[in-house]
Amino acid sequence: MKCEICSKEIGVTFLGKLKGNYVKVKGKQYPICNSCFKENKSSIKESLVKK
């Protein structure tokens, strides 16, 4: 699965859990890597809406 912001591949754990975060915008879930999540916490939803 790829990060919606930086397009970097996000790994999954052996249980199939994403090593990152899901951000929900308008009922859709976007995978976001940990570093983007930390850096853009406040603006993350805005940047996803613009897509």
Q: Decide: is 23 part of the binding site for Zn ion (CB under 5 A).
A: no
Q: Decide: is 44 part of the binding site for Zn ion (CB under 5 A).
A: no
Phi-psi region of 44 (alpha: psi -120 to 50; beta: other; left: phi over 0): alpha
Q: Decide: is 48 part of the binding site for Zn ion (CB under 5 A).
A: no
Residue among 6, 18, 40, 45 that touches Zn ion (CB under 5 A): 6
Number of H helices, E strands in the chain: 2, 2
What's the DSSP call for residue 18?
A: B
Residue among 21, 23, 36, 48 that touches Zn ion (CB under 5 A): 36
Q: State the residues that interact with Zn ion by CB under 5 A.
A: 3, 5-6, 33, 36
